Amino acid sequence: RRYSIAVIPGDGIGKEVMPEGTRALEAAASAHGFEVDLQWHDFASCDYYAKHGQMMPDDWKDRIGKVDAIFFGAVGWPDTVPDHISLWQSLLQFRREFDQYVNLRPVRLMPGVPCPLAGRKPGDIDFWVVRENTEGEYSSVGGHMFPGTEREIVIQETVMTRHGVDRVLRYAFDLATKRERKHVTSATKSNGIAITMPFWDKRVEAIGAEYPGVTHDKYHIDILTAQFVMNPQRFDVVVASNLFGDILSDLGPACTGTIGVAPSGNINPDGTHPSLFEPVHGSAPDIAGKGIANPVGQIWSAAMMLEHLGEAEAAASIMRAIEETLATETGRTGDLGGKADTVSCGKAVASLIG
């Protein structure tokens, strides 16, 4: 087995944590008998922008469109390129052009990561947030009339298509079938948003009926955010529209203290284009260049990528190595109160991958 992987470190600490991500990948590959063909790229970075006046080459799609997966660091350097340009001309192009319609984030208590919720221990909280990533509330349908006058009107429509809703719901239900508890929770607001959200609820019922082995329930988004904080142990797979999913996918990792080490996947489940895996954090200009960034988000992203590629055992071995490393003060980086730097933490994880 051989996987071609586009490696895009991007900016700031992306360039520091990426080598630790690929170190873990290579260790997992050699321990589990497959090969990774790593193709490094310097585009989708503000350095590239400084040289070329754009974030990516015109033929970027030809360069990375055929790989098995994209491994991404972080993009953004606000001192030189405004964030809306750096993000829109890179990451958001990938999501859109590669139809990565699922954004997937784990919410899991990890050893060595201080949990802001009292009385919980590793194992207590373990679920996934599945966010619709292409339509919904983040549409460009709308208008702005009479700007700057008393008659000013702004309108932005939510766009839900049956195709778009059904495919993300199927992904969530499929994911639940692979889990022990086999339960899907849907985020809704059909008591207030009276057209699109009742439609969403109906499609949850319809798709849910295709999965007799999976139970499902729904919460309105307001009380659901409260439940994330009060009773996170009750969730298994949580599926949400673009806006609700955006909020939940930050709230979930925040509840487990892992926002600095959490990974995410931008996934095209149909396999028509490559999926992209990246840490949740950004380029962290405030600590970039010091060699102290926590590489766990990047390494955990490698585990998610291998799971996606069908290498479940290799992914699990990376997760075990991360947990063992985080459990020790010498393995953890300074942001988690440990003594390690980026490289020593990455090496510790890699040495435990078996």
Cβ within 8 Å of residue 344, ≥6 positions away: 330
Residue 78 contact partner, candidates ligand NAI, Mg ion, none, CB within 5 to 8 A by sort of partner:
ligand NAI
Nearest to 350 by CA among 302, 280, 286: 302
Nearer of residues 31 and 87 to ligand NAI, judged by Cβ: 87
User: How many CA atoms lie within 13 Å of 50's alpha carbon, on the beta-carbon side?
Assistant: 12
Tokens of 278: 């990246």
Nearer of residues 246 and 311 to ligand NAI, judged by Cβ: 246
Least CB distance from residue 227 to ligand NAI, whole Å? 26
Task: Give the single-character DSSP code of 340.
Answer: B
Q: E-assigned strands of the chain?
A: 2-10, 35-40, 69-74, 102-108, 126-132, 142-145, 153-156, 183-188, 215-220, 237-240, 263-267, 275-279
Residue 288 contact partner, candidates ligand NAI, Mg ion, none, CB within 5 to 8 A by sort of partner:
none
Least CB distance from residue 93 to ligand NAI, whole Å? 13
Nearer of residues 74 and 318 to Mg ion, judged by Cβ: 74
Subset of residues 213 to 272 that bind ligand NAI, contact rule: CB under 6 A: 260
- Binding of residue 137 to ligand NAI (CB under 6 A): no
Nearer of residues 246 and 311 to Mg ion, judged by Cβ: 246
End-to-end CA, the chain: 18
Question: What 3-state DSSP class applies to 25?
Answer: helix
- Binding of residue 340 to ligand NAI (CB under 6 A): no
Helices (H), 12-113: 14-32, 46-52, 60-64, 83-88, 91-97
Least CB distance from residue 34 to ligand NAI, whole Å? 27
Applying CB under 6 A, the span of 166-174, 199-207, 279-287, 319-327 interacting with ligand NAI comes to 279-287
d(CA 32, CA 275) in angstroms, rounded, equals: 22
Tokens of 17: 């944590």
By rule CB under 6 A, what count of residues binds ligand NAI? 22
Applying CB under 6 A, the span of 23-31, 115-123, 171-179, 292-300 interacting with ligand NAI comes to 292-300
- Binding of residue 289 to ligand NAI (CB under 6 A): no
Residue 125 contact partner, candidates Mg ion, ligand NAI, none, CB within 5 to 8 A by sort of partner:
none
- Binding of residue 74 to ligand NAI (CB under 6 A): yes
d(CA 99, CA 85) in angstroms, rounded, equals: 20
Binding site for ligand NAI (CB under 6 A): 13, 17, 74-76, 78, 83, 87, 91, 260, 278, 281-287, 293-294, 297, 335
